[in-house]
């Protein structure tokens, strides 16, 4: 893992060499004078891009980390932010959700004298911008919003000092501490398998991940399967990696469903890394990789395939939770499956302060506003309330979803363990998929 990361960092450094000459001065995002902040560790004040980050097992960066910033009220942050705004530049937000754009006007109305520039980018772009700007000494971003499903953001950007945590203490009191381990969360979601509820009016046709890959007595699949390419979809691959981490749960569920022990059939001899023996998650990855699967990049087309299926020729599709909106918008006959041993991971969208940004107080004020403010009523979270997104605060009412994530059998992510096996999981998937006769 670390060797692969070394080459990625080396490539990024080569890319920024030509930019270093045009870098400008940047002000620090350190805590106010007199702070004895826990976040003065390398993630907050250390040199960006340092290769001396703590190891995964002994990380000093796990949250929640409370410092002087954490205790500041909206009024205190506003006063400091207005001083920062005298530079004439807006608070710059790098976001991976287009819904963040809706907060520009409402934030500026709430805090006259402050302006915001929100850039809607994909995950790779926002992270790359942080690296390029830090290494060029010309930090422009103040806030970063990004999903972390495999630990890459935490272990390769936060630990290495490109982004810094912010934990507002009063708001964090309303959030499960387990969800604060890897950063400050905006909201949670999860991936779902969809089925046609008109074809199965009595309820979902299966209850276990193992039943997705069942075959009949003639060796034919019971379901046509549709998904995006697992190997390039980080959220989906992280879910499969979690099965390797939680292999005992998958193994026990197999025995519950079939009344017998799982038979291990995978051959790990083709890999130059150690593959765990008799691991139910690895076995599932192998069996799934050999199924006949139709890969579709568009989520709407994935759920359309389910809508067009029948009880005689049923289909399942793995897609993002928001695609359930096609049920009302397009009158699709689709519903979420809830599976055992667990349905999916809670995929968390996090908000970070860009390290050494020009508007550290403004950045934190915007983060507080976006996550609901002191009482959950700021209006900043409103754009993110939709079916398929779940608020993480216990004082914000979930107005869109019929059940909680826990009721839908989603588990909190163990990004530390997933990070350790993610690239090996990806290698196994790609190698075994290439051996699938259905892909020839």
54 occurs within a structural domain: no
Model pLDDT for residues 413-437, shown as the tens digit of each residue: 899 999 999 999 999 999 999 999 9
Q: What is the CATH number of the domain that holds 127?
A: 3.40.190.10
Contact 61, 181 (CB under 8 A): no
**Domain match, 229 and 99 both:** no
Tokens at 307, concatenated: 């809508």
**d(C-alpha 56, C-alpha 416), whole Å:** 7
Same domain, 253 and 351: no
Query: What does pTM read for this prediction?
Result: 0.87
H or E segment and range at residue 164? strand 163-164
* Count of the separate structural domains present in the chain: 2
- Residue 39 domain-assigned? no
* Residues of the chain above pLDDT 90, percent: 85
Rounded CA gap, 147 and 189, in Å?
10
Average pLDDT, the chain: 89
Confidence of residue 51 (pLDDT cuts 50, 70, 90): very low
Residues 72 and 210 in one domain: no
- Whether 286 and 434 map to the same domain: the answer is yes
Q: Does residue 42 register a pLDDT over 50?
A: no
Predicted confidence at residue 350, as pLDDT, reads: 98
Residue in 48, 32, 426 with CA at minimum distance from that of residue 237: 426
Long-range contacts for 249-252 (Cβ within 8 Å, ≥24 apart)?
A: 249/341, 249/342, 250/209, 250/280, 250/281, 250/284, 250/341, 251/280, 252/341
pLDDT, position 178? 93
Q: Residue 171 falls within a domain, yes or no?
A: yes
pLDDT at 413: 86
196 and 121 within one domain: no
Is the Cα dihedral 374, 378, 379, 383 positive or negative? negative
Average pLDDT, integer, range 1-9: 41
pLDDT digits (tens, 9 = 90+) for 194-234: 999 999 999 999 999 999 999 999 999 999 999 999 999 99
Distance, CA of 392 to CA of 413 (rounded, Å)? 14
The reply to whether 20 falls in a domain is: no
Q: Which domain holds residue 333?
A: 192-345+421-439
Same domain, 211 and 83: no
For residue 220, count CB atoms less than 10 angstroms from its CB and return exposed for 0-12, middle for 13-18, buried for 19 or more. Answer: exposed
Q: Kindly report, residue by residue over 261-274, the tens digit of the pLDDT.
A: 999 999 999 999 99
Confidence of residue 57 (pLDDT cuts 50, 70, 90): low
Q: Does residue 249 have a pLDDT over 70?
A: yes
Q: What percentage of the chain reaches a pLDDT higher than 70? A: 87
The answer on 221 and 131 residing in a single domain is: no
User: What average pLDDT does this structure show over 32-49?
Assistant: 36
pLDDT of residue 11: 39
In 3D, which of 137, 123, 54 has the Cα closest to residue 358? 137
Residues 167 and 217 in one domain: no
Average pLDDT over residues 110-126: 96
């Amino acid at each position: 893992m670390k060797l692969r990361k070394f080459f990625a960092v080396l490539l990024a450094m080569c890319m920024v060499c030509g930019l270093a000459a045009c870098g400008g001065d940047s002000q620090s995002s350190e805590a106010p004078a007199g702070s004895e902040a826990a976040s003065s560790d390398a993630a907050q004040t250390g040199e960006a891009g340092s290769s001396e980050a703590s190891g995964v097992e002994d990380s000093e960066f796990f949250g929640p980390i409370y410092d002087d910033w954490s205790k500041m009220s909206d009024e205190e942050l506003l006063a400091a932010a207005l001083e920062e705004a005298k530079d004439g530049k807006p608070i710059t937000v790098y976001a991976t959700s287009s819904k963040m754009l809706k907060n520009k006007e409402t934030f500026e109305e709430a805090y006259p004298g402050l302006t915001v520039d929100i850039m809607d980018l994909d995950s790779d772009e926002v992270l790359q911008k942080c690296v390029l700007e830090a290494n060029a000494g010309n930090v422009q971003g103040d806030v970063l919003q990004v999903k972390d499903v495999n630990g890459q953001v935490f272990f390769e950007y936060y630990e290495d000092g490109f982004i810094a945590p912010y934990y507002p203490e009063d708001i964090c009191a309303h959030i499960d501490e387990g969800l604060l381990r890897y950063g400050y969360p905006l909201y949670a979601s999860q991936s779902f398998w969809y089925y046609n509820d008109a074809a199965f009016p009595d309820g979902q046709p299966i209850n276990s991940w193992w039943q997705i890959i069942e075959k009949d007595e003639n060796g034919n699949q019971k379901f046509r399967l549709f998904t995006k390419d697992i190997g390039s979809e980080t959220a989906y691959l992280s879910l499969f990696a979690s099965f390797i981490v939680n292999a005992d749960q998958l193994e026990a569920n197999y025995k519950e469903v079939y009344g017998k022990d799982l038979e291990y059939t995978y051959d790990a001899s083709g890999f130059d890394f150690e593959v765990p023996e008799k691991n139910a998650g690895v076995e599932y990855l192998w069996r799934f990789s050999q199924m006949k699967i139709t890969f579709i990049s568009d989520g709407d087309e994935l759920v359309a395939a389910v809508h067009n299926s029948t009880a005689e020729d049923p289909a399942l599709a793995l897609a993002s939770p928001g695609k359930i909106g096609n049920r009302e918008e397009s009158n699709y006959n689709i519903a979420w499956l809830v599976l055992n041993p667990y349905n999916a991971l809670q995929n968390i969208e996090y908000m970070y302060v860009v390290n050494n940004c020009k508007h550290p107080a403004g950045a934190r004020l915007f983060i507080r506003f976006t996550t609901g403010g002191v009482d959950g009523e700021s209006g900043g979270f409103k754009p993110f309330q939709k079916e398929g997104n779940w608020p993480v605060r216990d004082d914000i009412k979930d107005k869109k979803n019929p059940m909680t994530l826990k009721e839908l059998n989603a588990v909190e992510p163990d990004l530390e363990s997933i990070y350790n096996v993610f690239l090996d999981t990806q290698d196994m998937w790609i190698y075994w998929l290439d051996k699938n006769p259905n892909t020839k």
